[in-house]
Structure 1
Amino acid sequence: MIRGLYTAVTGMITGEAKQSIVTNNIANANTNGFKSDNLSIKKFDDVLIQNYDKIVNGKNTKNTIGSLSMGSKIDDLNTYFGQGLLQATDKTTDFAIDGSGFFTVQRNDGITTKDYYTRSGDFHVDGSGYLVTDSGDKVLGKDKATNALGPIYVGDGKLQVDNSGNVSVNGVSQYKFATVDFSDYKTIKKVGDNLYDAASPMQNQNITVKQNSLEKSNVNVSAEMVNMMTITRNFESNQKVIQAIDETLGKAVNEVGTVK
């Protein structure tokens, strides 16, 4: 009975975690470049059930009845990196990657400088003339003259980008977007602000960049709503199991064996 209680509780815990993921997906359904998450669930190791009720030659011997699952637990958080829909805009600082790959941005917290990666291309030019994200992180590119990696400076110039990611300012090709890709997407981790952190990025030279476009979120709202209803039903079922076990335990403690 206690084992059944434990199994139901673990089901509620994993259900609560899955509901948080689904809620976050729905909340970011309109976030540019957002990639949906999914929680993988696995079961605890089964417990072997045995007793000594079997009698052989007048002696009680071990009898294996079978195994019993002890419930579920969280296995891993997986991100679905499928392509989102591309939507045309009227802003020259809006960009979208068609296919695999990421833009590289640089964040300076006043102490350290670190590179991150994003699929969200809703950039703008800041007061210093640099191309930046909504969070103020500088978008990186390779300087055509020096081949050095650094922030893309636009100033007051007219920005134009071709499908290969070559950046021209006032008609002069000056940079190329520092777009990267990864051999193993399981190493990519979300760090907030629609950014990713990962080791060993590979330069992606065959990337397709669309100017005056944005990649929308790849969240399927209808599917997420169905997932939420399924999780809610499972949570309610586990809750009823716990209530039933609790009532049974109450009777066992308060009524069974009571002297009347």
Structure 2
Amino acid sequence: MIRALYTAVTGMITGEAKQSTVTNNIANANTTGFKSDDLALKSFKDVLIQNYDNVVNGKNTKNTIGSLSQGSKIDDVNTDFSQGVLSTTDKATDFALSGKGFFTVRRDNGITTKDYYTRSGNFQVDGTGYLVNDSGDKVLGKDNTTNAIGPINVSDGKLQVDNSGNISVNGVNRYKFDISDFKDYKTITKVGDNLYDAANPVQAQNVSVNQNSLEKSNVNVTTEMVNMMSITRNYESNQKVIQAIDETLGKAVNEVGVVR
């Protein structure tokens, strides 16, 4: 009985976690470059149930009844990195990637600097002429003069970018976007602000840069709504199981064995 209660409770805990993931996906359905998440679950190791009720040649022998699940637990959060739909805009500082790869941005908090990666290309030019994202992180590119990777400074010039990521300022080819990719996407983790953290980036291959475009979120709202309804019903079912177990335990404590 207690095992059944524990199993139902673990189902409710994982249900809450899955609902949180689905809610976050729906909330970011209109976030540029957002990639949806899916919570992977796995069951705890089943318990083998046996007894010794069978009697053979006058001896009690082991009889396997079956197995009992001890519930489920969170295994991993899987991110769907599939391509989102591209939409056309009228801003020269809007960019979308078609294919596998990420824009590289550098965050400087005044003490340390760290590079992050994003699919969101809704950039703008800050007051000092640098190309930045919504959080003020500087977008990185290769300087064609020094061949060094660093922040892209376009001053107040006119931007023009080709599909290979080459950036021309006032007609002069100045930079090329530093577009990174990763051999193992399992190492990529979300860190907020639509950014990813990962180690050992490599140069992206077969990726196209589209100016005056943005990549939409790859969240399928219809699918997420169906998932939410399914999770809610499973949660309610576990609630009813717990309620039934609680009532049964109450009867066992208060009524069984009572002298009448």
TM range (shorter): over 0.9
Higher alpha-carbon deviation: 205-214 or 30-39: 205-214
Distance 2:169 2:245 in 1: 71
Partner of residue 113, structure 1: 113
Aligned: 1:14 with 2:14: yes
Residue 20 of structure 1: how far off its partner (Å):
0.1
Secondary structure of the residue aligned to 1:146 is coil
Aligned: 1:66 with 2:60: no
Residue 200 of structure 1: how far off its partner (Å):
1.0
Secondary structure of the residue aligned to 1:96 is strand
The answer as to whether partners of 1:164 and 1:206 remain within 8 angstroms in 2 is no
State the identity as a percent. Answer: 80
Distance 1:98 1:206 in 2: 9
Superimposed CA distance per residue, residues 13-39 of structure 1 (whole angstroms, 9 cap, x where no aligned partner): 110000000000000000000000000
Partner of residue 230, structure 2: 230
Partner of residue 176, structure 1: 176
Secondary structure of the residue aligned to 1:117 is strand
Letter in 2 for 1:142: K
Distance 2:142 2:228 in 1: 44
Distance 1:188 1:230 in 2: 29
Distance 2:202 2:82 in 1: 19
Q: Give TM-score scaled by structure 1 length.
A: 0.98
Residue 56 of structure 1: how far off its partner (Å):
2.2
Higher alpha-carbon deviation: 250-259 or 52-61: 52-61
Residue 123 of structure 1: how far off its partner (Å):
0.2
Superimposed CA distance per residue, residues 81-109 of structure 1 (whole angstroms, 9 cap, x where no aligned partner): 01111010010000000111100000011
Question: Could you say what the CA RMSD is over the residues aligned between the two structures, in angstroms?
Answer: 0.8
Residue 206 of structure 1: how far off its partner (Å):
3.5
Distance 2:204 2:71 in 1: 44
Structure-to-structure mapping, 1:33-182, within 5 angstroms = 33-182=33-182
Aligned residues: 260
Higher alpha-carbon deviation: 66-75 or 30-39: 66-75
Residue 205 of structure 1: how far off its partner (Å):
4.7
Aligned: 1:195 with 2:204: no
Distance 1:115 1:124 in 2: 18
The answer as to whether partners of 2:32 and 2:216 remain within 8 angstroms in 1 is yes
Secondary structure of the residue aligned to 2:73 is strand
Secondary structure of the residue aligned to 1:65 is strand
Secondary structure of the residue aligned to 2:3 is helix
Higher alpha-carbon deviation: 108-117 or 219-228: 108-117
Distance 1:152 1:24 in 2: 32
Distance 1:136 1:172 in 2: 25
Letter in 2 for 1:237: S
205 and 142 in structure 1: CA distance in 2 versus 1, 3 angstrom threshold: farther
The answer as to whether partners of 2:100 and 2:205 remain within 8 angstroms in 1 is no
Aligned: 1:241 with 2:260: no
Residue 50 of structure 1: how far off its partner (Å):
1.1
The answer as to whether partners of 1:42 and 1:75 remain within 8 angstroms in 2 is yes
Secondary structure of the residue aligned to 2:55 is strand
Secondary structure of the residue aligned to 2:136 is coil
In the alignment, structure 2 segments of 5+ residues that lack a partner are: none
Q: Give TM-score scaled by structure 2 length.
A: 0.98
Distance 1:204 1:27 in 2: 29
Distance 2:25 2:66 in 1: 40
Residue 182 of structure 1: how far off its partner (Å):
1.0
Superimposed CA distance per residue, residues 156-178 of structure 1 (whole angstroms, 9 cap, x where no aligned partner): 11111111100011100000000
Letter in 2 for 1:75: D
The answer as to whether partners of 2:11 and 2:71 remain within 8 angstroms in 1 is yes
Higher alpha-carbon deviation: 47-56 or 114-123: 47-56
Distance 2:4 2:74 in 1: 19
Partner of residue 28, structure 1: 28
